């Protein structure tokens, strides 16, 4: 049986460099500008070697796209299918998990700009038949988007048996369709894990945000996001899946569930209605770089809406005088990497597929990476992740891609519950493993 200690270790969020009154990183604009000026152009040899090191550390395969201004690099390493040896390739479609939240937040903010949604209005104004009682008046739209609503995640209730027999549970639910209202009700009925006003990552928040979109616009929220976010961004390979199978070239997506699924199973075919506007999108690394560049340079939202999106809260409590290494905005976080740089973006994880996309604040330097083995580590008797080489290798690649030089793998940290400060570690935690069931994701 999987330890219930996993409940505290689900989705990881990254550090944030926020631009809000709640607190900003100590790095000054001048220091940031100087760091950008010193950053070298893309080092293709270094990118190639550190991406290969991620595979050598134990990841089945990965593919990535890196940009610096107009300069681009794409690469792949390892295998898309370990059984056949089919190689991984750049440009594959991939399930991007909670990176979907950035798209959903942009869609909501577009309706804020149109005056049809008020970020500080109670959710009960929009969903009175679904969000009731005290929450109807006390939980705001902003709280949904920055995960301070106090509403629990729905994943464990939606997958009963996941902690007892994860392989059977995932297999049995492979083709099950779930309506968003059902997911929302499961989350709303679950036992609270954090008080309202405290950051606590929950997919329920973004399913509710999608339902607010639907109620206000009269449109299916996934169709709205497609028309008003994906198409205006010029993304040609990003979509909500219309069937359990991906339609374009893609890798197998292998879930190990911390060793309880051995050997790992391919879940690239899966009905993603369980994730919806919280995590169902399919995309490519090139499209993700394009999306975040356009977002951060003000091409998708006006200045006020973008400022609201970048207004952040710390994802854990800090000691007096301590700066949180990660802060979460509205579907966007800012993170301090081991080499010291601050970056904006999001990560995503679904069964078998991991994705991470980060960018400098000016949108010039970017990296996006997809990989195809999830929850690859092992846990101790208390359900805490044991040291492993894959996560440090991932950070070494991403940090080096953003800072301009290869970074030796750091010691992987032991993750902490989402509502308390993580133990001091060289690596910040990632945010999106699997709500209610995660360890630091790779």
SS (H, E, C) 40-80: CCCCHHHHHHHHHHHHHCCCCEEEEEEEECCEEEEEEEEEE
pLDDT value at residue 12: 33
CB 150 within 8 A of CB 194: yes
Q: Is 189 helix (H, G, I), strand (E, B) or coil?
A: helix
CA 408, CA 426: separation in Å to the nearest integer?
12
pLDDT value at residue 438: 39
Percent of the chain with pLDDT over 70: 82
* Least trusted range by pLDDT, from 6-20, 33-47, 85-99, 291-305: 6-20
Average pLDDT over residues 121-125: 98
Its pTM stands at 0.88
Beta bridge partners of 122: 140
Count, residues in the chain: 442
Average pLDDT over residues 179-189: 98
CB 435 within 8 A of CB 162: no
CB-based contacts of 103, cutoff 8 Å, min separation 6: 225, 229, 230, 281, 291, 331
How far is residue 88 CA from its own chain's centroid?
A: 22
pLDDT value at residue 422: 30
The question of whether 98 is a catalytic residue gets the answer: yes
CA dihedral 153, 357, 15, 29 (to 10 degrees): -140
Residue 195 has a CB neighbour count (10 Å cut-off) of 10
Distances (CA, A) of 255 to 80, 259, 382: 13, 9, 21
Angle, CA 437 vertex, CA 238 and CA 129 arms, to 5°: 70
Pairing of strands 254-255, 373-374: parallel
Beta bridge partners of 313: 328
Res 413 pLDDT > 50 = no
Res 104 pLDDT > 60 = yes
Assess whether the previous peptide bond of 281 is cis (omega < 30° from 0): no
Q: Is 357 helix (H, G, I), strand (E, B) or coil?
A: strand
Q: Shortest CA distance to 227 belongs to which of 241, 244, 245, 240?
A: 240
CB 272 within 8 A of CB 280: yes
pLDDT value at residue 316: 87
CB-based contacts of 376, cutoff 8 Å, min separation 6: 58, 59, 256, 264, 388, 390, 442
Among the options 3, 46, 98, 273, which is catalytic? Answer: 98
Res 392 pLDDT > 50 = yes
Distances (CA, A) of 378 to 72, 257, 386, 437: 36, 9, 6, 13
Q: What is the pLDDT of residues 242-287, one digit of tens each?
A: 999 999 999 999 999 999 999 999 999 999 999 999 999 999 999 9
CB 215 within 8 A of CB 126: yes
CA 326, CA 242: separation in Å to the nearest integer?
34
CB-based contacts of 34, cutoff 8 Å, min separation 6: none
Q: Which of 95 and 323 is assigned the larger pLDDT?
A: 95
Q: How confident is the model at residue 409 (pLDDT cuts 50, 70, 90)?
A: low
pLDDT value at residue 381: 86
CA dihedral 196, 202, 206, 209 (to 10 degrees): -20
Identify which of 23-37, 272-286, 311-325 has the greatest average pLDDT.
272-286
In the predicted model, what is the mean pLDDT of the chain?
87
CB 292 within 8 A of CB 344: yes
Res 13 pLDDT > 60 = no
Pairing of strands 365-371, 373-374: unpaired
């Amino acid at each position: 049986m999987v330890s219930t200690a996993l409940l505290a270790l689900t989705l990881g969020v990254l550090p944030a460099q926020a631009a809000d009154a709640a607190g900003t990183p100590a790095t000054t604009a001048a220091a940031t500008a100087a760091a950008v000026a010193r950053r070298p152009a893309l080092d293709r040899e270094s990118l190639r070697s550190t991406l290969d090191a991620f595979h050598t550390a134990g990841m089945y395969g990965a593919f990535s796209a890196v940009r610096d201004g107009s300069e681009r690099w794409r690469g792949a390493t390892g295998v898309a299918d370990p059984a056949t040896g089919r190689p991984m390739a750049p440009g594959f479609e991939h399930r991007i998990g909670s990176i979907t939240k950035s798209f959903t937040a942009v869609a909501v903010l577009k309706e804020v700009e149109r005056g049809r949604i008020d970020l500080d209005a109670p959710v009960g104004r929009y969903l009175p038949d679904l969000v009731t009682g005290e929450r109807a008046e006390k939980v705001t739209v902003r709280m949904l988007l920055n995960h301070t609503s106090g509403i629990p995640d729905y994943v464990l209730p939606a997958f009963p048996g996941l902690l007892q027999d994860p392989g059977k549970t995932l297999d049995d639910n492979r083709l099950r369709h779930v309506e968003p209202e059902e997911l929302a009700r499961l989350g709303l009925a679950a036992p609270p894990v954090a008080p309202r006003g405290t950051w606590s990552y929950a997919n329920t928040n973004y399913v509710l945000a999608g339902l607010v979109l639907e109620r206000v616009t009269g449109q299916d929220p996934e169709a709205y996001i497609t028309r008003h976010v994906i198409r205006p961004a010029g993304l040609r390979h990003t979509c909500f899946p219309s069937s359990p199978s991906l339609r374009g070239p893609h890798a197998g997506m292998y879930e190990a569930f911390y060793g309880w699924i051995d050997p790992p199973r391919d879940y690239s075919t899966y009905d993603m209605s369980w994730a919806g506007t919280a995590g169902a999108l399919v995309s490519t690394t090139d499209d993700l770089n394009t999306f975040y560049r356009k977002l951060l340079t003000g091409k998708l939202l006006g200045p006020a809406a973008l400022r609201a999106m970048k207004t952040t809260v710390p994802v854990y409590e800090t000691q007096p005088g301590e700066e949180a290494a990660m802060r979460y905005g509205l579907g966007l976080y800012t993170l301090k990497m081991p080499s010291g740089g601050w970056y904006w973006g999001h990560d995503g994880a679904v069964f078998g597929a991991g994705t991470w996309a980060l960018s400098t604040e000016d949108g010039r330097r970017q990296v996006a990476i997809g990989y195809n083995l999830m929850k690859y580590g092992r846990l101790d008797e208390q359900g805490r992740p044991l040291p492993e080489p894959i996560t440090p290798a991932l950070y070494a690649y991403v940090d080096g891609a953003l800072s301009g030089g290869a970074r030796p793998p750091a010691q992987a940290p032991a993750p902490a519950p989402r509502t308390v400060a993580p133990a001091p570690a060289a690596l910040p935690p990632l945010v999106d493993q699997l709500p209610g069931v995660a360890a630091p994701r790779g």
